[in-house]
Structure 1
Amino acid sequence: MSAPRNNAIQQILSKRFRILLTGDPEGVPPWLADVAASDQPGLYLPDEAPWIAHGDMATLVGGIRALLMQALHPGSLTGVMQHSRYKDEPLGRLSGTIRWLTMTTFASTAAVSGEADRVNTMHQRVKGTYQDSEGKTVPYRAADPDLLRWVHIAFMDSFLRCHQLYSTRALPGGADEYIRLWSQSVIPLGLTEVPMSEDELLAEIDRYRPELIVNDATREVISFIKNPPLPKTSLPAYHFLFKAALASLPREYQDMIGLGHPSLRIIQPITRNLLTLIRLAIGPETPIEEAAIERLHRAGVMKDGKIIRRPC
């Protein structure tokens, strides 16, 4: 008698969870059909580092961390403040980010190309000026390679570090392989000069350090990231995940943000347990990954759940 009841509870919690992440009233990702479509392989396979990292619950922390890192660069910060309705539609911006991440990781190459076209078109409209760390007025476009590169490395470093800290799943090939493979994701965006190893990633982050600042606008956006208008039932878990994201940042960035220095030694095991609990609560189903695997079977890349060939 208890199993069906537990399954029903999981279905309710799973639907609420996916409504929160996708903005769809039924909890069905609007991009699910695009991931399932065609008989083509995609950029990644189920045994590769980007697939494993982006299918893991640790991405819940990685996404928050990426937003915090992006907010430290006045160019990406100004783009968000001037060209998005993040205050009016916070879940809309979240679902847009999730769409790009999941499409690029799990969809076919044709769908990835289409998603890149959508993002590139959107980027053409995002332009203006911002005040840099020296107080100079700087023109920007979202499509500028230097700004795109910062967004890319902020996302990549965040998902990598949070997976290393808060997931129990190993990344095949480690950090270098994740960075090398994920570099393919931004080629359709026109970005080809990106880090290809962990050493290169760390060096590139250091190169951007003089450009990072915290001003009133930064604090406003970070305050919003810390206290978004989520359902009250979701806020306790979110607030802890925010602390986990903050704890994962280098001490220098924590100092800049000015919200304290949460103890990683304490937060790490609690976060792992919390993410495990969330997964148990919503159930093991992963519709996006399941749709992608079905497509790989049709493409002749997988058979009986196993990879039988690797696309060239």
Structure 2
Amino acid sequence: MAVSLLDIPGVGAVRQRLRAELFARVAGPRGPENRARIHETAGPRWFGPDRPIRTVHGDASMFIGGLRALLLQSLHPLAMAAVAAHSGYRGDPWGRLQRTSTFLAVTTFGTAQDARAAVGQVRAVHGRVAGTTAAGEPYRASDPHLLGWVHAAEVDSFLRAHQRYGARPLDPAGCDAYLADTARVAEALGVVDPPRDQAALAERLAAYRPELRATREARDAARFLLLDPPLPWAARGPYAVLAANAVALLPSWARSPLRLPYLPVLEATGVRLAGHGLTRTIRWAMDPRAAGEPARTPPGGAAAKAGRTR
């Protein structure tokens, strides 16, 4: 007779505890309320259940992709200046993650009405964010060109993480369809002509390269994210695996300015194997069917680990 892993004494309790802790971290105190609203409210959605954006944003690989996105986005000095001055990522990193988590979940899985409202809220916040970098360069969070960089770095990170660590990697047509899906959200946020396929994304990232550099704020953010996260000691081991895999997914041209290591043999073996093990564990813990819930992706499930600068 086949025996489920959950039939082993204590395993089910461990799974429930891990699931609850993950959900609380990334969804926040309003997580259950938001989850019910997103998944149980009737009405048309921007994306149907078979769309690639749901596959990517609903997978545990987003934990790695989100951190990679934050590191890559920091290389634009205007984007990093806005984050350092206005986001409060050091003082309230979990609150920022939870807001981003909810935005991604609403726009990916929620009703079209709620998605439009979420976009409107973000655009209102962007409209209030402006300033000057330490070098005297003015920035506006609502600048379409700056929003374009944030979007390109984000979707490149999400897609690369999913293709390496996702449960169901996409074929080339699926990758293009994912970018077409995300372009809808990007346009609503104010991005002009966001890339809709892999070729356009590669061209867009290359076009931004001359503007990128690692400022002091970017290197400080990388140290905070990779070496000094606000986590209990028990969680630092798994987080170190997440961080190592996020770094391993960065191109060499992004690592060098941030003073991040390049260890190709270790990354191709131990780091990658550990990354697969971590994402499988998160996926196992977050599976709603194990808790007797409908199969759905809650805000703060895998869809929530994003790095959009907001």
Aligned-partner SS, 1:275: helix
CA–CA separation in structure 2 for the residues paired with 1:154 and 1:291: 23
Q: Look up the match of 2:241.
A: 240
Which amino acid is the alignment partner of residue 272 of structure 2?
Q
1:274 aligns with 2:278: yes
CA–CA separation in structure 2 for the residues paired with 1:291 and 1:21: 13
Instruction: Indicate which of 34, 51, 73 corresponds to 1:31.
Output: 34
Q: Look up the match of 1:194.
A: 194
1:34 and 1:111 in contact (8 A); partners too: no
Aligned-partner SS, 2:119: helix
**How far apart are 1:239 and its partner, in Å?**
1.1
Structure 2 alignment gaps of length 5 or more: 1-5, 299-310
TM-score, with normalisation over the residues of structure 2? 0.85
Q: Look up the match of 2:75.
A: 72
CA–CA separation in structure 2 for the residues paired with 1:289 and 1:58: 18
**How far apart are 1:262 and its partner, in Å?**
3.7
**CA deviation string 1:85-137 (max 9, x = no partner):** 21111101111111111111111110000001110111111111125xxx5x3
**How far apart are 1:189 and its partner, in Å?**
1.4
1:128 aligns with 2:131: yes
When the two chains are superposed, the root-mean-square deviation of aligned CA atoms in Å is 2.2
CA–CA separation in structure 2 for the residues paired with 1:224 and 1:244: 16
Tell which has more relative contact order, 1 or 2 (C-alpha 8 A, sep 6+): 2
1:55 and 1:289 in contact (8 A); partners too: no
CA–CA separation in structure 1 for the residues paired with 2:84 and 2:251: 25
Q: Look up the match of 2:145.
A: 146
Q: Look up the match of 1:89.
A: 92
**CA deviation string 1:8-66 (max 9, x = no partner):** 33222111111111232xx8355224313542121212222110000000000000001
Q: How many residues matched?
A: 286
**How far apart are 1:161 and its partner, in Å?**
0.5
1:19 and 1:28 in contact (8 A); partners too: yes
2:41 and 2:111 in contact (8 A); partners too: yes
Aligned-partner SS, 1:234: helix
Percent identical among aligned pairs is 33
**CA deviation string 1:230-266 (max 9, x = no partner):** 1222111111111101100111111222120143311
2:148 and 2:192 in contact (8 A); partners too: no
**How far apart are 1:209 and its partner, in Å?**
0.6
**How far apart are 1:203 and its partner, in Å?**
0.7
Instruction: Indicate which of 96, 101, 113 corresponds to 1:98.
Output: 101
2:45 and 2:110 in contact (8 A); partners too: yes
CA–CA separation in structure 2 for the residues paired with 1:231 and 1:188: 38
Instruction: Indicate which of 10, 27, 34 corresponds to 2:15.
Output: 10
Q: Look up the match of 1:253.
A: 254
Which amino acid is the alignment partner of residue 13 of structure 2?
A
Aligned-partner SS, 1:269: helix
TM-score, with normalisation over the residues of structure 1? 0.85
193-202 or 277-286, which moves further after superposition?
A: 277-286
Structure 1 alignment gaps of length 5 or more: 293-312
